[in-house]
A and B are shown apart, each in its own frame.
Chain A
């Protein structure tokens, strides 16, 4: 995370996947807090959302790998 933040301006060091993970963490956290009341359910929903964000990005990324343009 520090690498992303401190060297974000440098094209070689900015990690697109790292930023995706960071974004997913924040969005999952906020949705979990808003949509569930107790801690256990919040953790479960947050984890599910986070995993869904990251996995869908990986799957879509590989699908686009096959696109010629």
Chain B
């Protein structure tokens, strides 16, 4: 499927795939922006950042990494997927989780899903960098 977005100037040199993945993890959509897929990058940045923010507003919890509790550890890894927003939220002590409110589980779902989707975004960036897309 050849489209307008696939046509890149021949002078554009693709950066290192691993570096791209790290950037894509740290800032959602930044990998796509670097690869000159501006529209997709902006959409991904907006959607994933908003999802994470809404998760925090809904009282979701940013889970600590607890190897003794496998499900909590997995949720923690998923939370970490959003990159810099996770770091900011941890430093600002947001996302401690308000269990008593009705939207707590919804908040967790938004937080976890935003991180997992950003992992998919990283894989997409890797595929583009390797010339598979």
A: residues with CB less than 8 A from B are 5, 8-9, 11, 14, 16, 19, 22-23, 26-27, 29-30, 33-34, 37-39
Contacts and interface: CB of A to CB of B under 8 A. Distances in A.
Nearest to B123: A34
Interface residues of B, number: 31
B3 A5 contact: no
Interface of B: 1, 3-6, 39-40, 43-44, 47-48, 50-51, 54, 57-59, 98, 101-103, 106, 109-110, 113-114, 117, 120-121, 124, 133
Given A8-B103, A9-B59, A30-B48, A38 B54 contact: no
A37 B102 CA distance: 38
Given A11-B101, A14-B102, A30-B121, A23 B6 contact: no
A26 B39 CA distance: 16
B124 to A, nearest CB: 5
Q: List the 6 shortest-distance A-B pairs measured between CB atoms, nearest first.
A: A38-B3, A37-B3, A8-B103, A11-B102, A30-B117, A26-B51
B47 A30 contact: yes
B44 A30 contact: yes
Nearest to A22: B54
Decide if the interface of chain A is mainly helix, strand, loop or mixed.
helix
Contacts of B117: 27, 30
Contacts of A16: 106
A43 to B, nearest CB: 12
B101 A34 contact: no
Contacts of B98: 9
Nearest to A1: B54
